[in-house]
């Protein structure tokens, strides 16, 4: 990326990266946030509860990273939602929708065979910086 800025973004208000990846990368006017699952950043533990509670925590984690990157939900252009069970789409969508005011971002939602720690939902984000 010769001549282009690339910066790792990290905040203690979202779960620490548990592998060789960054919470987010700011590059060329965008923020690319790694997939977030329902870990409580204070304890590092997976939160208890169903899809609603997990989605709420994921969205809070994403919000913290967006803020640390100097961005926000109003600047999100694309999300990808990974669901363990597509029959929980409506419940996830209800919580997800609470974080978007105005025109929501483009989104893909896919059902996957398995997610880290057998969580029910993972979401990644691309936003304007």
Q: What is the CATH number of the domain that holds 36?
A: 3.30.1330.40
Q: Which of 36, 30, 27 is nearest to 63 (CA)?
A: 36
Segments in the chain forming alpha helices (H): 51-68, 89-97
Q: How many folded domains does the chain comprise?
A: 1
Q: Is residue 1 in some structural domain? A: no
Q: Judge whether 74 lies within some domain.
A: yes
More confidently predicted of 92 and 4: 92
Percent of the chain with pLDDT over 90: 88
The span from the CA of 76 to the CA of 105, in Å, is 6
Distance, in Å, from the CA atom of 77 to the CA atom of 105, rounded to the nearest integer, reads: 5
- Residue keyed to tokens 């990808």: 80
pLDDT reading at 2 higher than 80: no
pTM for the full predicted model? 0.94
Expressed as residue numbers, the domain containing 38 is: 6-128
pLDDT value, residue 65 = 98
Is residue 128 within 8 Å of 30, Cβ to Cβ?
yes
Instruction: Identify the pLDDT of residue 1.
Output: 44
């Amino acid at each position: 990326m010769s001549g282009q800025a690339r910066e790792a973004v990290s905040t203690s208000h979202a779960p620490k990266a548990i592998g060789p990846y960054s919470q987010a990368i700011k590059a060329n006017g965008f923020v690319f946030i790694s997939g977030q699952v329902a870990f409580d950043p204070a304890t590092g533990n997976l939160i208890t509860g169903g899809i609603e509670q997990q989605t709420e925590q994921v969205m809070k984690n994403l919000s913290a990273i967006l803020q640390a990157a100097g961005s926000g939900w109003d600047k999100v252009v694309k999300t990808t939602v990974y669901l363990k069970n597509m029959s929980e789409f409506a419940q996830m969508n209800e919580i997800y929708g609470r974080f978007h005011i105005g025109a929501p971002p483009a989104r893909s939602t896919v059902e996957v065979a398995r997610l880290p720690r057998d969580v029910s939902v993972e979401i990644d984000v691309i936003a304007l910086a």
